[in-house]
Amino acid sequence: MARQDAARVIADLFASEGAAGYLGEPVTQADHMLQAGMLAEQAGAPAPLIAAALLHDVGHFTGAVSGQDLMRGTDNKHSDQGAAWLAQWFGPEVTEPVRLHVEAKRYLCAAEPDYFARLSPASVYTLGVQGGPMRTDEMAAFEASPYAQDACRVRRWDDDAKDPDRSAPAFEHFASLIDALTKANSDTVRPQRHGPRIASARTPHRGHPRKSPGSSESTAAW
């Protein structure tokens, strides 16, 4: 897919599935990711990390197993799915923090005693589905990744990006950043490191917002 399609395809995804009601949370999935992108921008993060924050949950839309399935107890591996989908346009500076943002939650739960208290009830629930806090050996492996710190930064913006009173810019605000990153990546020759390139998202359920399987469930902190 041509690089100039990236911003359009992602914008369409935000406007379709991303705009749907979000399982009882006061923010939509699109609002959640836009807030995360904005928090990264406000923190002065480099462009690839802003993009990673903005796009960290696209795997809920692009994978074969949905966020609904995650809330029913089946790990949808959305971080892996999202990273593989994004790899058609972006390099590891973007895709690796996305791929590792669930692992970062597991890591931070084990590494920082106060971190667990920050998690929403839904995120506590999905933590169990996703493997729970890391074991010591898993922590060492995570820390060995050159993208571990970036993943933890994305994770913290993720956790904070659920405020219904926080206004976030429209996706268009980030379009030029997406364009610049995809152009830079298309000009860079490097071996494929993580997963196949996937040409398109799972067909969006346009006009059919996902409904919560339970009113107590919330998912914006995945």
Residue ranges that bind Fe ion, judged by CB under 5 A = 57, 158, 222
The residue number whose beta carbon is nearest to Fe ion equals 158
For CA atoms 62, 183, 197, 103, give the dihedral sign.
negative
Q: What are the helix (H) ranges across the chain?
A: 5-15, 29-42, 47-55, 59-62, 67-71, 78-86, 92-99, 101-111, 121-129, 136-143, 148-160, 175-186
For CA atoms 125, 128, 134, 138, give the dihedral sign.
negative
Residue closer to Fe ion, measured from CB, 3 or 20: 20
Least distance (Å) between residue 56 CB and Fe ion: 6
Least distance (Å) between residue 105 CB and Fe ion: 9
Residue closer to Fe ion, measured from CB, 57 or 150: 57
Residue closer to Fe ion, measured from CB, 31 or 57: 57
Residue closer to Fe ion, measured from CB, 89 or 222: 222
Least distance (Å) between residue 130 CB and Fe ion: 12
Residue closer to Fe ion, measured from CB, 107 or 222: 222
In degrees, rounded to 5, the angle at the alpha carbon of residue 84 between the alpha carbons of residues 32 and 171 is: 30
Residue closer to Fe ion, measured from CB, 3 or 125: 125
Least distance (Å) between residue 222 CB and Fe ion: 5
Tokens of 46: 């480099």
Least distance (Å) between residue 32 CB and Fe ion: 6
Q: Reduce the DSSP state of residue 149 to 3 states and report it.
A: helix
Least distance (Å) between residue 219 CB and Fe ion: 8
Rg of the Cα trace of the chain?
16
Q: Which of 57, 64, 59 is nearest to 28 (CA)?
A: 57
CB proximity list for 219: less than 8 A, separation 6 or greater: 22, 23, 25, 29, 67, 70, 71, 122, 126
Read off the DSSP letter of residue 159.
Answer: H
